[in-house]
């Protein structure tokens, strides 16, 4: 071998050792960097005409287990979903039902306090303090239910907003992946680019359910679960417009996929005429309640359907469209039961002295004539000073509404009037000094609601003439204590009207010490009412307190399961990360040992260069 060839060989050794040192130093510098994959120096021999001519450095080789990495991405997707659900249910417990073990704040505690106030009132209905306590407890229950219903919709709005933000983050990851693909396609050194690619894929997999396919040139294609391409040569963009206001009737828009060229860079919205493909359908919720489900194709536009099984996006969709709507249904059911049994008890009783007028809360819409009706109810005109009965009226519930109201008005002639106001509410007004008292008698009005459930009402209860609560017809949880009751506890009904049908009929109203109406309020908490299955609550009947306890327990169990699922997924991710670190992580002892080895190799090559240079000098001196 000539001296020139020896020098060239030594120089290649210097260059190769120098790159090996750089790779090792880079490993040491990034030992604590999350997602960094250890690199291994690679080289090959240079051969000319069958003779060795040194070595050349190759691109550093990444030490990675592709199967483990793919499994880590899959498990991260599961963790993304379970963590999103855990977060929402944790907020439900903390913001709506109170922390576990916390007393006084949970809805069932408010209902228990109201039941205790009703018992205290039944023991002595004449005490103003007992009346005020019951009305305060009733207002607390109404407020708790109303706030709970509002908070559920606020949590849905927050989930919807997070979905929008998450889609922006997904689009940013895909755009970054596209740039990495372009650099890989241009032949850029791939090790660091592949690290960036894997970090982006890990972030993307945690956010949305994807599958990947690696091409021979190092580029990667990304597909959403269901097969729609997110990045295949060119990227696509997910587009979603969050709802400006979220309520139980909000129709959410779809999540659609568009080619990047079809998106206006200024607005981020599709250009006019662009056609995208729907990934997640728009709609009301993931499953319709019995009130809305018809079993016909008309249901389909209302149902949100997602192809995803894992990922944070799926967790947020599940929270917004299934978990929280089911909770809202359960709170609505509890509010309906509460209002029904307590209003029924209060309508069956009469205040002392009885009021001069009653105005119903029901806006008549034809339900009365369409309902099943039977029997007779009673109305008595009472002297508000002496309590004496001045007149007794039988109300035939089998008559249609127009006939019933006309007959009632005629029967009250000389004492007052009855009729429907402009909104269709029944109004009974007596002359000054006269009070109106009602009794159900054997009259019953049975109404079947949209869920197929039957409700039995008395006359006063059906028309809402002496309700305890008022409600927003569009929001069952929006209960409020009746305004005039809140301002005048004396209007709280604690007595009962007794009627002997005769003939002639004779009615007697209990006096200020009559506790039977208050007993009815206390007994209402033990009344079991038919319920409609709502999520995991599928008991055929329940009391108010029983349903509230079941609701709180169901939420607690679901939250605990969500925590367990998230912890399990988190532990699996940590275990896979540990295994990945064993393979791909940097071991400082090993790297320092390699550093010494490469330093020695560099020194040997440098020594050969030095010796060759000295030999050249000797030859030159001989020539002179």
**In contact, 221 and 234? CB cutoff 8 Å:** no
Residue whose entry in the numeric block shows the structure tokens 């109300």:
395
- Whether the predicted pLDDT of 226 surpasses 90: no
| pLDDT one-digit tens code per residue, 38-89 | 777 777 777 777 777 777 777 777 777 788 888 999 999 999 999 999 999 9
For the chain, percent of residues with pLDDT exceeding 70:
98
Separation of alpha carbons 107 and 144, rounded Å: 6
**In contact, 477 and 331? CB cutoff 8 Å:** yes
More confident residue, 449 or 11: 449
- Whether the predicted pLDDT of 369 surpasses 60: yes
Q: What per-residue confidence (pLDDT) applies to 389?
A: 97
Q: What per-residue confidence (pLDDT) applies to 6?
A: 75
Number of H helices, E strands in the chain: 14, 23
Q: What per-residue confidence (pLDDT) applies to 116?
A: 96
Phi-psi category of 511—alpha, beta or left, where left has phi over 0 and alpha has psi -120 to 50? beta
**In contact, 382 and 374? CB cutoff 8 Å:** no
**In contact, 454 and 465? CB cutoff 8 Å:** no
- Whether the predicted pLDDT of 104 surpasses 70: no
For 476, residues 6+ apart whose C-beta sits below 8 A from its C-beta are: 149, 332, 335, 336
* Tokens representing residue 503 in the block: 């003939």
* Tokens representing residue 251 in the block: 């129709």
- Whether the predicted pLDDT of 434 surpasses 80: yes
Q: Dihedrals φ, ψ of 330, to 5°?
A: -65, -40
Separation of alpha carbons 484 and 351, rounded Å: 13
Look at 222-236, 522-536, 548-562, 597-611 and tell me which has the smallest mean pLDDT. 597-611
**In contact, 215 and 209? CB cutoff 8 Å:** no
For range 192-211, the mean pLDDT: 91
Q: What per-residue confidence (pLDDT) applies to 193?
A: 85
Q: What per-residue confidence (pLDDT) applies to 105?
A: 66
Q: What per-residue confidence (pLDDT) applies to 519?
A: 97
Look at 96-110, 129-143, 213-227, 493-507 and tell me which has the smallest mean pLDDT. 96-110
- Whether the predicted pLDDT of 401 surpasses 90: yes
What is the distance, to the nearest Å, from the Cα of residue 226 to the centroid of all Cα atoms in its chain? 24
Which among 551, 480, 557 has a CA at the least distance from the CA of 96?
A: 551
For range 431-447, the mean pLDDT: 97
pTM of the complete model: 0.88
**In contact, 381 and 412? CB cutoff 8 Å:** yes
**Residue 27 confidence class, pLDDT cut points 50, 70, 90:** confident
Separation of alpha carbons 595 and 186, rounded Å: 32
Separation of alpha carbons 601 and 14, rounded Å: 8
Q: Dihedrals φ, ψ of 345, to 5°?
A: -65, -40
Which among 198, 138, 189 has a CA at the least distance from the CA of 335?
A: 138
What is the distance, to the nearest Å, from the Cα of residue 581 to the centroid of all Cα atoms in its chain? 35
Q: What per-residue confidence (pLDDT) applies to 623?
A: 66
**Residue 28 confidence class, pLDDT cut points 50, 70, 90:** confident
| pLDDT one-digit tens code per residue, 304-361 | 999 999 999 999 999 999 999 999 999 999 999 999 999 999 999 999 999 999 999 9
- Whether the predicted pLDDT of 620 surpasses 90: no
Q: Dihedrals φ, ψ of 438, to 5°?
A: -125, 150
| pLDDT one-digit tens code per residue, 259-304 | 999 999 888 899 999 999 999 999 999 999 999 998 889 999 999 9
Q: What per-residue confidence (pLDDT) applies to 37?
A: 77
Which among 15, 17, 38, 8 has a CA at the least distance from the CA of 586?
A: 38
Long-range contacts formed by 199-202: CB under 8 A, 24+ apart:
199/35, 200/173, 200/176, 201/73, 201/177, 202/35, 202/72, 202/73, 202/76
Which among 588, 613, 580 has a CA at the least distance from the CA of 36?
A: 580
Q: Dihedrals φ, ψ of 446, to 5°?
A: -110, 120
More confident residue, 600 or 182: 182
Burial environment of residue 447 by CB neighbours within 10 A (0 to 12, 13 to 18, 19 or more): middle
**In contact, 371 and 458? CB cutoff 8 Å:** no
Q: What per-residue confidence (pLDDT) applies to 176?
A: 95
Give kind and range of the element (H or E) at residue 259: strand 255-259
* Tokens representing residue 539 in the block: 């008991």
More confident residue, 147 or 2: 147
Q: What is the maximum alpha-carbon separation in the chain? A: 153
Q: What per-residue confidence (pLDDT) applies to 585?
A: 74
* Tokens representing residue 180 in the block: 């990495």
Question: Which residues is 435 bridged to in the sheet?
Answer: 382
For range 547-561, the mean pLDDT: 93
Averaged confidence pLDDT in the chain: 90
**In contact, 43 and 56? CB cutoff 8 Å:** yes
Q: What per-residue confidence (pLDDT) applies to 100?
A: 58
Separation of alpha carbons 410 and 238, rounded Å: 68
More confident residue, 365 or 147: 147
Output Rg (C-alpha) for the chain, integer angstroms.
39
For 108, residues 6+ apart whose C-beta sits below 8 A from its C-beta are: 545, 548, 549, 551, 552
For 575, residues 6+ apart whose C-beta sits below 8 A from its C-beta are: none
Residue whose entry in the numeric block shows the structure tokens 């899959």:
74
Q: What per-residue confidence (pLDDT) applies to 270?
A: 93
Separation of alpha carbons 146 and 207, rounded Å: 34
- Whether the predicted pLDDT of 189 surpasses 90: no
Q: What per-residue confidence (pLDDT) applies to 170?
A: 97
């Amino acid at each position: 071998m000539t001296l020139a060839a020896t020098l060239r060989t030594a120089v290649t050794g210097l260059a190769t050792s120098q790159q090996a040192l750089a790779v090792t130093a880079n490993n040491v510098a990034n030992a604590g960097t999350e997602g960094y994959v250890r690199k291994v120096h690679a080289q090959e021999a240079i051969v000319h005409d069958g003779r060795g001519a040194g070595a050349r450095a190759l691109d550093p080789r990444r030490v990675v287990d592709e199967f483990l990495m793919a499994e880590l991405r899959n498990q991260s997707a599961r963790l993304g979903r379970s963590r999103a659900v855990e977060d929402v249910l944790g907020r439900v417990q903390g913001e709506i039902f109170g922390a576990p073990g916390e007393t006084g704040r949970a809805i069932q505690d408010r209902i228990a306090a109201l039941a205790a106030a009703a018992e205290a009132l039944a023991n002595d209905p004449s005490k103003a303090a007992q009346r005020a306590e019951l009305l305060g407890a009733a207002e607390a229950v109404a407020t708790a239910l109303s706030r709970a219903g509002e908070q559920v919709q606020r949590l849905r709005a927050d989930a919807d907003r997070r979905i929008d933000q998450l889609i922006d983050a997904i689009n940013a990851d895909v755009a970054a992946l596209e740039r990495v693909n372009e650099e890989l396609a241009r032949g850029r050194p791939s090790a660091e680019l592949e690290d960036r690619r894997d970090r982006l894929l890990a972030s993307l997999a945690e956010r949305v359910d994807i599958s990947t396919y690696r091409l021979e040139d190092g580029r990667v294609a990304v597909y959403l679960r269901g097969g729609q391409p997110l990045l295949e040569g060119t990227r696509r963009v997910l587009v979603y417009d969050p709802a400006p206001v979220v309520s139980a009737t909000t129709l959410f828009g779809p999540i659609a996929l568009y080619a990047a060229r079809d998106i206006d860079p200024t607005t981020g919205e599709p250009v006019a005429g662009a056609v995208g493909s729907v990934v997640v359908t728009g709609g009301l919720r993931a499953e319709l309640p019995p009130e809305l489900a018809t079993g016909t194709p008309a249901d389909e536009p209302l149902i949100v359907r997602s192809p995803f099984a894992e990922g944070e996006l799926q967790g947020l969709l599940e929270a917004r469209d299934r978990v929280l709507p089911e909770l809202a249904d359960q709170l609505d059911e509890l509010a309906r039961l509460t209002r029904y049994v307590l209003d029924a008890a209060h309508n069956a009783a009469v205040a002392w002295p009885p009021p001069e007028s009653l105005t119903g809360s029901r806006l008549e819409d034809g339900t009365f004539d369409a309902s099943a009706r039977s029997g007779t109810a009673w109305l008595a005109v009472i002297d508000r000073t002496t309590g004496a009965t001045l007149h007794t009226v039988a109300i035939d519930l089998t008559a249609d509404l127009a006939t019933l109201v006309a007959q009632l008005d005629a029967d009250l002639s000389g004492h007052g009037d009855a009729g429907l106001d402009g909104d269709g509410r029944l109004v009974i007004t007596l002359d000054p000094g006269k009070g109106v008292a009602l009794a159900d008698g054997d009259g019953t009005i049975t109404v079947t609601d949209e869920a197929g459930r039957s409700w039995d009402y008395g006359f006063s209860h059906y028309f809402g003439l002496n309700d305890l609560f008022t409600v927003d017809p569009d929001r069952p949880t929006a209960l409020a204590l009746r305004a005039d009751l809140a301002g005048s506890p004396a209007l709280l009904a604690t007595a009962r009207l007794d009627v002997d049908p005769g003939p002639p009929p004779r009615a007697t109203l209990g006096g200020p010490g009559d506790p039977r109406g208050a007993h009815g309020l206390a007994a209402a908490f033990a009344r079991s009412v038919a319920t409609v299955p709502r999520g995991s609550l599928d008991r055929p009947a329940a009391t108010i307190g029983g349903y509230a306890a079941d609701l709180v327990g169901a939420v607690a169990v679901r939250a605990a399961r969500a925590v367990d699922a998230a912890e399990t997924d988190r532990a699996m991710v940590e275990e896979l990360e540990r295994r990945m670190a064993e393979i791909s992580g940097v071991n400082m002892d090993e790297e320092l040992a390699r550093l010494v080895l490469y330093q020695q190799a560099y020194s040997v090559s440098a020594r050969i260069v030095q010796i060759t240079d000295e030999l050249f000098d000797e030859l030159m001196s001989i020539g002179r």
